[in-house]
């Protein structure tokens, strides 16, 4: 296995692309004895293609609970008794307050997340566009969002016109596994949403959740589908089995080793993308969470997720500094301008495979305070930012 890991590492470093068979063999063949070989390969690949930059994101749950959809991992579906908070769309003052807090925490952007099937033209879209405009006008952070399915291209154009920077919509899982996770909409509904988002000229944030009963091969199929989709940011989440959801009884948590192998193989499959480890990282990786950076992660979410809590921004920034990585926001704070994700022509097509939307688009990071102070290093930003929250792992992964 060591030889195979080495061969696959060299192949990617030389510009080659792993097949699904090769990725599946990495997952199935890596054991405790060869874990460090896999992580070392993933770390080399990350450093060659992404460098030491770490992208940091944060979100606000702008509308919680009572979602019509039946995503089996999600605490916010109206079909499951989970005890999650339920409320309608926040008003402009609440969102502006959240934006200010995000900035105080060093965030570059505020991602608005809404638990509903999706957006159509009408009063709800008007309200959302108003919130986006308010956040943009305040200038504290730039607005991102995860607002569910979009079947009307005009909706995407309206969001773009309002100032939306990045739209999150996750594939969630491989096409071949999707129907075991969601009944109320299809993988192609999600793919269609992503096409509209890209056609409107917004950045795409799309990834999935590991640990929902998929096979090793299906994990790699998801990575291959994302590779074809070519989003600007790939959130990778782990199932956090929440009481009341079907998956809490159907599946246990991944082991930390399984999760680290999953991150690493995503890095092998998606060498040039920012891979953001987000929902479920604390509950699945536990004390081993910092190793996600050695496994190839180059982004994470700071502060709260949606319905469960996360590590504090101080914790995250201390870990990043400890690995001698650099929060991308530090650069943004130094320049005073939000950093764009991968620039992309407005009309670039989305690949044929894709899926469901979800997550909080979101992008923010952490270090505005460092900029205010004339400092820009992660430790300074960490010590200055307040933080924390309460969020939900899979929620993040699949909201909306």
Decide: is 71 part of the binding site for ligand SF4 (CB under 6 A).
yes
> Residue 214 or 399: which CB sits closer to ligand SF4?
399
Decide: is 202 part of the binding site for ligand SF4 (CB under 6 A).
no
Decide: is 399 part of the binding site for ligand SF4 (CB under 6 A).
yes
Between the alpha carbon of residue 95 and those of residues 72, 99, 363, 365, the distances in Å are: 29, 6, 15, 17
> Residue 64 or 105: which CB sits closer to ligand SF4?
64
Task: Say how many C-beta atoms besides its own lie within 10 A of residue 219's C-beta.
Answer: 28
d(CA 363, CA 233): 10
Please name the residue that has the structure tokens 């016109």: 161
Cβ neighbours for 370, distance < 8 A, ≥ 6 positions apart: 106, 330, 333, 376, 377, 380, 381, 384
DSSP, residue by residue, 288-353: GGGGGTTTT--EEE-S--SSS----HHHHHHHHHHTT-EEHHHHHHHHTSPPPSS---TTPPPPS-
> Residue 66 or 344: which CB sits closer to ligand SF4?
66
d(CA 371, CA 236): 29
Copy the structure tokens of residue 64: 């919680």
> Residue 42 or 361: which CB sits closer to ligand SF4?
361
267-285 core/surface letters (b: 16 or more CB in 10 A; e: else): bbbbbebbbbbbbbbbbbb
Report the nearest approach of ligand SF4 to the CB of residue 245 (Å): 9
Decide: is 67 part of the binding site for ligand SF4 (CB under 6 A).
yes
Residues 346-375 contacting ligand SF4, CB under 6 A? 358
Report the nearest approach of ligand SF4 to the CB of residue 171 (Å): 12
d(CA 272, CA 46): 8
Applying CB under 6 A, the span of 73-81, 120-128, 223-231, 340-348 interacting with ligand SF4 comes to 73-81
Decide: is 398 part of the binding site for ligand SF4 (CB under 6 A).
yes
Report the nearest approach of ligand SF4 to the CB of residue 180 (Å): 14
Binds ligand SF4 by CB under 6 A, chosen from 27, 45, 74, 291: 74
Report the nearest approach of ligand SF4 to the CB of residue 336 (Å): 34
Report the nearest approach of ligand SF4 to the CB of residue 20 (Å): 26
Element (H or E) spanning 149, and its range?
strand 149-150
Applying CB under 6 A, the span of 63-71, 153-161, 237-245, 248-256 interacting with ligand SF4 comes to 63-71
Is residue 367 within 8 A of residue 327, CB to CB? The reply is: yes
Decide: is 115 part of the binding site for ligand SF4 (CB under 6 A).
yes
Binding mask 138-157 for ligand SF4 (x = CB under 6 A): ----------x---------
Decide: is 77 part of the binding site for ligand SF4 (CB under 6 A).
yes
> Residue 226 or 400: which CB sits closer to ligand SF4?
400
> Residue 75 or 297: which CB sits closer to ligand SF4?
75
d(CA 241, CA 244): 9
Report the nearest approach of ligand SF4 to the CB of residue 71 (Å): 3
d(CA 249, CA 294): 31
Q: Which residues bind ligand SF4 (CB under 6 A)?
A: 67, 69, 71, 74, 76-77, 115, 148, 358, 398-400
């Amino acid at each position: 296995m060591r030889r195979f890991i080495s061969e696959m590492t060299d192949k990617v470093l030389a510009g080659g692309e792993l097949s699904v068979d090769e990725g599946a063999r990495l997952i199935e063949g890596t054991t405790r004895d060869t874990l460090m070989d896999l992580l070392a390969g993933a770390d080399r690949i990350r450093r060659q293609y992404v460098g030491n930059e770490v992208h940091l994101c944060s979100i606000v749950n702008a509308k919680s609970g009572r979602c019509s959809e039946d995503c089996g991992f999600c605490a916010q579906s109206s079909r499951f008794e989970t005890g999650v908070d339920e409320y309608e769309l926040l008003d402009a003052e609440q969102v502006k307050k959240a934006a200010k807090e995000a900035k105080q925490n060093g965030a570059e952007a505020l991602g608005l997340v809404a638990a509903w099937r999706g957006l159509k033209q009408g009063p709800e879209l008007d309200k959302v566009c108003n919130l986006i405009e308010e956040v943009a006008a305040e200038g504290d952070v730039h607005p991102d969002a995860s607002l569910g399915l979009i079947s009307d291209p005009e909706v995407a154009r309206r969001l773009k016109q309002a100032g939306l920077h990045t739209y999150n919509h996750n594939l969630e899982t491989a096409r071949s596994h999707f129907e075991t996770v969601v009944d109320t909409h299809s993988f192609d509904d999600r793919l269609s949403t992503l096409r509209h988002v890209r056609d409107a000229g917004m950045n795409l944030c799309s990834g999935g959740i590991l640990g929902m009963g998929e096979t090793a091969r299906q994990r790699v199929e998801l990575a291959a589908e994302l590779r074809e989709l070519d989003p600007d940011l790939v959130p990778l989440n782990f199932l956090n089995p929440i009481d009341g959801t079907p998956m809490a009884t159907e599946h246990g948590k991944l082991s930390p080793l399984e999760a680290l192998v999953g991150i690493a193989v995503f890095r092998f499959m998606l060498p040039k993308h920012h891979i953001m480890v987000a929902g479920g990282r604390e509950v699945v990786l536990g004390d081993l969470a910092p190793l996600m950076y050695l496994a190839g992660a180059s982004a994470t979410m700071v502060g709260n997720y949606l319905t469960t809590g996360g590590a504090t921004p101080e914790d995250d920034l201390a870990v990043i500094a400890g690995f001698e990585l650099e929060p991308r926001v530090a650069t943004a704070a130094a320049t005073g301008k939000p950093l764009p994700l991968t620039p992309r022509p407005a009309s670039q097509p989305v690949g044929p495979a894709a899926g469901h939307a979800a997550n909080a688009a979101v992008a923010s990071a952490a270090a505005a305070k460092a900029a205010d102070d004339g400092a820009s290093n992660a430790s300074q930003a960490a010590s200055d930012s307040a933080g924390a929250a309460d969020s939900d792992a899979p929620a993040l992964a699949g909201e909306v």
